[in-house]
Amino acid sequence: MDFKYAKRMTYLKASEIREILKVTEKPEVISFAGGLPAPELFPVEEIKTVSRIVLEEESARALQYTTTEGYKPLREWIANRMNSRLGTEFASKNILLTNGSQQALDLSGKVFLDEGDVVLCESPTYLAAISAFRAYGCKFIEVPTDNDGMIPDELDRILESTKRVKIIYIIPEFQNPTGRTWSLERRERLVKAAMKHQVMVVEDNPYGELRFEGESLPSVKSFDRIGCVLCLGTFSKTFCPGYRIGWVAGDKSAIDKYVLVKQGADLQCNTIAQMEIAKYLELYEIDDHINKIREVYRKRRDLTVKTMEEEFPKGVTFTRPQGGLFAWVELPADVNARDVLEKSLERNVAFVPGGSFFPNGSKENTFRINYSNMPEDRIVEGLKSLAGVLREFVQQ
């Protein structure tokens, strides 16, 4: 049958990560592939308590439809949290709850992108943001990026010479996939450029709370004077991704547009999930919980970096992230990480080759390592095994 699918379906292909994750479901596989939090850290007992309380005390509300914007006490908590951590000035009316921050990415595409519009992004950038935006028929321009973020002169040059830039998409804290964090100066320069050209910035920050060392920096949004920065956040990494609760925060006029498109997408987020998270935040200290996560991930990061330093052959370089879930590995230019993956899967070790994090395709000699999901002994075992594979590809 020759069914007439929409043209956008020709832009989309299966996510490489999803395909690799299918392999990693086998228990014998040591996976550095997904971005999965450590399940042993989920606060299961507390969640049992809050779900019982919500059902006993507020079932009529919890099982009912709610507003598209979302449960107000939760939006208030989010606004206060952002204001105290990120130097923003949000109120509940500036927040729309979304089905994970992934939905906020899709809604951003729906709100801003017509076919042929341009998204500027870091090079490399988050794979599923590429998929979300691509469905709207946009083109990507990858802005050259170093350890401190986008290179400002390059960004200026691209903005001066390119028509139809609609979104600048950035992940300034412990970026997925590289683990890098933007410097203060780069944050300020980016907002200046965005204000001058009146282009929207989507500041995606799922990992900012997971800092292991060093000082937190003010958000990109904190430099915004005209409402050109939208902030995406999520409970996926600080609480549990299964709840699928994230948000987009910004000027009310922009949030109103997101509310319109969310109504068409799914009316609202799961009511009971919103209320359970709000109850958890009321009854427990989420900072204690986040400190616990940070401690575990910091140890895993230390062990990952140490093992890579000791075991990986010379000529292989990698980032040393100060937080978040990922490190980024660069191989000599002539080595293809997809070939390395094929061999390492034979030894039951998985990771994600870096090529697909570049929307226009390049740098096949890179890959991403996630260190949050595996216990310490398996991290060491897996990286040693991977080092053995790398030695087959890289001259010492």
Query: Which parts of this chain interact with ligand PMP (CB under 6 A)?
Result: 35, 100-102, 126, 171, 176, 204, 206, 234, 236, 241, 246
351 vs 393 by CB, closer to ligand PMP: 351
Give the number of residues written for the chain: 396
Q: Which residue is nearest to ligand PMP (CB)?
A: 100
312 vs 326 by CB, closer to ligand PMP: 326
312 vs 328 by CB, closer to ligand PMP: 328
- Sign of the CA dihedral with 93 first, then 68, 63, and 105 last: negative
Looking up tokens 């992230």, which residue turns up? 321
CB of 360 to ligand PMP, least distance (A): 19
Residues with Cβ < 8 Å from 46, sequence gap 6 or more?
A: 280, 283, 284
179 vs 355 by CB, closer to ligand PMP: 179
239 vs 318 by CB, closer to ligand PMP: 239
77 vs 312 by CB, closer to ligand PMP: 77
Instruction: Count other C-beta atoms under 10 Å from residue 6's C-beta.
Output: 9
CA distance 24 to 7: 32
CA distance 108 to 265: 12
CB of 368 to ligand PMP, least distance (A): 11
CB of 237 to ligand PMP, least distance (A): 8
CB of 361 to ligand PMP, least distance (A): 20
3-class DSSP state for residue 185? helix
CB of 131 to ligand PMP, least distance (A): 11
104 vs 335 by CB, closer to ligand PMP: 104
Closest CA to 207 of 228, 180, 183, 230: 180
Alpha-helical (H) ranges within the chain are 16-24, 44-62, 72-86, 100-112, 127-134, 152-161, 184-197, 252-266, 271-283, 286-311, 337-346, 376-393
CA distance 377 to 30: 10
CB of 32 to ligand PMP, least distance (A): 14
Residues with Cβ < 8 Å from 102, sequence gap 6 or more?
A: 128, 132, 246
CB of 334 to ligand PMP, least distance (A): 29
